[in-house]
Structure 1
Amino acid sequence: MASASRPVSMKVVSVAETQKDESFFEKNERLGRKLSPHLTIYQPQLTSMLSICHRGTGLALGVGVWGLGLGALISSHDISHYVTMVEGLQLSGATLTALKFIIAYPAGYHTANGIRHLLWDTGRFLKIKEVYSTGYAMVATSFVLSAILALL
């Protein structure tokens, strides 16, 4: 009720007076606001690195599936032709196993971390100590899983 007795006045302002010609950065500089250094001061942590790698392996798997699919559509040969080409390179067993590990690792990592995320969705392992211990366990599991796939 006190605000009803207060006099109110209105002033007509043109649109040109309300628009500023300064940019976001110029305004922040004029007001003395500093730009946050964000990534330049951020210390990488296990959780952030595992998250970035999860996204990267998912991207690699998606690109790989698209590449294989498109390659199969536009290729004039079947898979046996390409197997013969790889055999013709006469690579050593260690080299072939290493190449297979490199190809298998995104699948092993993404699968192991996906299971970890599914466990989180049930409300388990969400305390910071558990997040770190499951992170280390997931990295070890992904190496083991990828090694098994590479040795097949």
Structure 2
Amino acid sequence: MPGAAERPLSPHLQIYRPMLTMMMSIVHRITGVALYFGTLLLVIWLVAAATSPEAFDTVNGIYGSWLGLLVLVGFSWALIHHAIGGVRHFVWDTGAGFGPQSRELLAKLTIGGSVALTLLLWIVIWAVKG
């Protein structure tokens, strides 16, 4: 078929200008996948707690290391970001927030809110922990 190779078969990322809402859609999917791995971490912690004090101390030691804390902060951000993104989608399900300014505002609020709530969560955790 002559000329078939000269045109794309479907729209591609090279055609679309990246927009904040497009990036938010991608991040929402990534955080959803990250939540599966974070839930596995929770299961490991619960199994260790049910197994023995030594296993529980081992897992707490790993999770309490700088790398473990970094993973836990990332997991908590993914959880919060995904939840706020779900609220954003719920707003859209009502038929609201589809205008260009509304979409951008909701996307920015999702980013800012998830970062702010994650920081607040970990400030409270460190304050309670002592």
Provide the TM-score with structure 2 as the length reference. 0.71
**Unmatched segments (≥5 aa) in structure 2:** 126-130
Q: Is the 8 A contact 1:109 1:139 kept in 2?
A: yes
Q: What are structure 1's unaligned runs of at least 5 residues? A: 1-26
1:1-150 equivalences in 2 (<5 Å) = 27=1, 30=2, 32-33=3-4, 34-36=6-8, 38-66=12-40, 68-69=42-43, 71=44, 78=51, 81=54, 83-85=56-58, 86-87=60-61, 91=65, 98-150=70-122
User: Are the aligned partners of 1:104 and 1:146 in contact in 2 as well (CA < 8 Å)?
Assistant: yes
**Aligned-CA RMSD value:** 3.3
Bigger Rg, which one: 1
The aligned residue for residue 128 of structure 2 is none
Kindly state the Cα deviation for residue 68 of structure 1 after the two structures are TM-superposed: 4.6
- Once the 2 structures are TM-superposed, how far is the Cα of residue 134 of structure 1 from its aligned partner? 1.1
CA positional deviation for 1:35: 3.2
Identity %: 27
CA contact (8 A) 1:104 1:150 kept: no
After superposing the two structures, state which structure 1 stretch, 142-151 or 110-119, moved more. 142-151
After superposition, the C-alpha distances for 1:13-42 in whole angstroms (9 at most, x for unaligned) are: xxxxxxxxxxxxxx2xx2x13232722343
Letter in 2 for 1:45: M
Number of matched pairs: 120
